[in-house]
Amino acid sequence: DPPWLKEVCPLEIMSSTSANKIDAFDPFGFSELDFDPFGVNASLCVGSSIHDDDASKKDPQQPSPPAPPRKPVATTATPPTQPIQQLPPKIIVRVNIHEEVSTSIEADEKVCRASIEGTIQAQVHSSNATKNAPFLLCFKEPSTNNTAFKFDGNFASEVLSNFVDRQEEERRRETATLAKLTIPKGEIGTVKIADYTAQCEIKNLPFLVQSRIKFDENICHIALQIRSNLANKGELEDFTIAVAVPQQVKPETVKVTKGAGKWDSLKRIIKWNVDCLPKGASMLFSADAELIMSVNKVDGLLPHFPIIVRCRSKLDQVSKMKIDAVAIDGHPATFMLDTVSSVRILHRVS
C-alpha cells in the first residue's frame, strides 16, 4: 500500500495480533454482563414481555386453577323491630273554684258560722290531638262541712269507687267525693261541672274584724280594726265596711274621725271603702257620735252598733276543699292540675 494510506487509516493496517489485544481490554467487565444496549439478541423482541417465556411454557388446554375461596364477611344481624309503645297522653286540667260566703259571729265569739255556695269550672288540654280521655276528679274536704254537690250531667257525674279509703277518711276526718269528667275535644274554654253548698264553722277567715265601743257620758267613740290573714294567698280587694248606727244616737252629731268614710243619715250607716288590703296588713277606722241621753240614764242597756264587712279575693277560698285528678282504668294518662280559687265574703258582726 502507498505510505499515505497508512497515515490515514492506521487502524485498518494494524495486525490481527494488535487488534485482539485491544478487544481483550475490558476494564468494566461488560463481557461478563452480556451487555446488549441495542437489542441485537433475539431474546428481547419488540412487543414481547419479560414473562413471555413463562407464558409459552403453559398449556393452553389446561384449565386455570380455581380462585381461592373468599373469607366470609362478618355481618351484624338486625334484631327484629319491636312495636313502639305510645306514652300515655298528658292532660292539663285547670280548675276554677268560686265561692260566695256569708258568715256571722257574735262580738264575744271566736268561731263564726258560714254558709258557702260554690261553683266549680274546669278546662282540659290533652296532648292527644283527637280526643280527651275521661278521668276522675276527687274532692276532699273536712267531714264537718256537710257539702252537697250537684254535678252538670253534660260533663260530670258522681261515681262510687274503691279508690277512696273510708277508714283513712275517718282517721283524717275527711270526706271524698269522686266525679267522672268527660269533656269533648271541641270544648276549648272552661265548662261548669258542679255547684255545691256547705254549712260549716270557721275559726280563721281571710280577715279579722275587731271593734271597740267606748262611752263617755253621752259621747260614743267607735273604733274598728281589720287585719288581713298572713296565710292568705293574695291580697283582699274591694273592701266595704259599714257600721249601723242605732236610734239612740243623734244623727246630726255623727262624725268620721279616721278613714275616708261617709255618713248616710237616711240609712243611718257609716261606710268606708278601701280598694286593697295586702296580706298581713291592717287598717283602722273610727267615728264619734252623741247620744240622745247619757249612758247612765239608759238603765244599763248600751247602744248596739252592728258591723258588716264585704270584700273579695282572687286567690283564696273559705272552704278547705282540695281537688286531685285520677286516671280511669283503661284510659292511662298523666295529669298536671292547676287550681285557682276566688271568694266573695259578706261578714256580719253582731
| Phi, psi angles (nearest 5°) of residue 184 | -60, 160
344, 282 in Cβ contact below 8 A?
no
Helix (H) or strand (E) holding 199: strand 191-202
pLDDT in tens, 28-67: 555 555 555 555 454 444 444 444 444 444 555 566 666 6
With left for phi above 0 and alpha for psi between -120 and 50, is residue 280 left, alpha or beta?
Answer: left
Structure confidence at residue 47 (pLDDT): 44
pLDDT above 50 (res 223): yes
Helix (H) or strand (E) holding 8: helix 3-8
Which value, in Å, is the radius of gyration of the alpha carbons in the chain? 56
If you average pLDDT over residues 148-177, what whole number do you get? 79
If you average pLDDT over residues 209-222, what whole number do you get? 91
Tell me how far CA of residue 25 lies from CA of 10, 17, 19, 20, in angstroms.
Answer: 19, 13, 10, 9
Share of the chain above pLDDT 90, in %: 60
More confident residue, 217 or 340: 340
Give me 53's grid cell.
417465556
Structure confidence at residue 25 (pLDDT): 55
Weakest mean pLDDT among 45-59, 92-106, 175-189, 228-242: 45-59
If you average pLDDT over residues 283-298, what whole number do you get? 83
pLDDT above 80 (res 247): yes
pLDDT above 80 (res 86): no
pLDDT above 70 (res 179): yes
pLDDT in tens, 300-323: 678 899 999 999 999 999 998 999
pLDDT above 80 (res 15): no
Where does the pLDDT of residue 5 fall: very low under 50, low under 70, confident under 90, or very high at 90 and above? Answer: very low
Give me 94's grid cell.
285547670
Sign of the Cα pseudo-torsion (42, 46, 48, 50, in order): positive
pLDDT above 90 (res 334): yes
Structure confidence at residue 294 (pLDDT): 72
If you average pLDDT over residues 316-339, what whole number do you get? 93
Give me 200's grid cell.
260549716
pLDDT above 90 (res 161): no
Sign of the Cα pseudo-torsion (20, 24, 30, 31, in order): positive
In this structure, the dihedral spanned by the alpha carbons of residues 309, 311, 317 and 319, taken in order and rounded to 10 degrees, is 20
Helix (H) or strand (E) holding 234: none
Structure confidence at residue 79 (pLDDT): 63
Structure confidence at residue 259 (pLDDT): 94
If you average pLDDT over residues 10-18, what whole number do you get? 46
3-state SS assignment for residue 233: coil
Helix (H) or strand (E) holding 220: strand 219-228
Strand order in the sheet with 174-181: 156-159, 174-181, 135-142, 322-327
What average pLDDT does the structure give for the chain? Answer: 82
Give me 83's grid cell.
312495636
If you average pLDDT over residues 269-298, what whole number do you get? 89
Tell me how far CA of residue 109 lies from CA of 54, 60, 202, 210, 224, in angstroms.
Answer: 127, 127, 11, 11, 17
pLDDT in tens, 192-210: 999 999 999 999 999 999 9
Structure confidence at residue 274 (pLDDT): 96
Q: To the nearest 5 percent, what fractions of the chain are helix, strand and coil?
A: 10, 45, 45
3-state SS assignment for residue 125: strand
pLDDT above 90 (res 340): yes
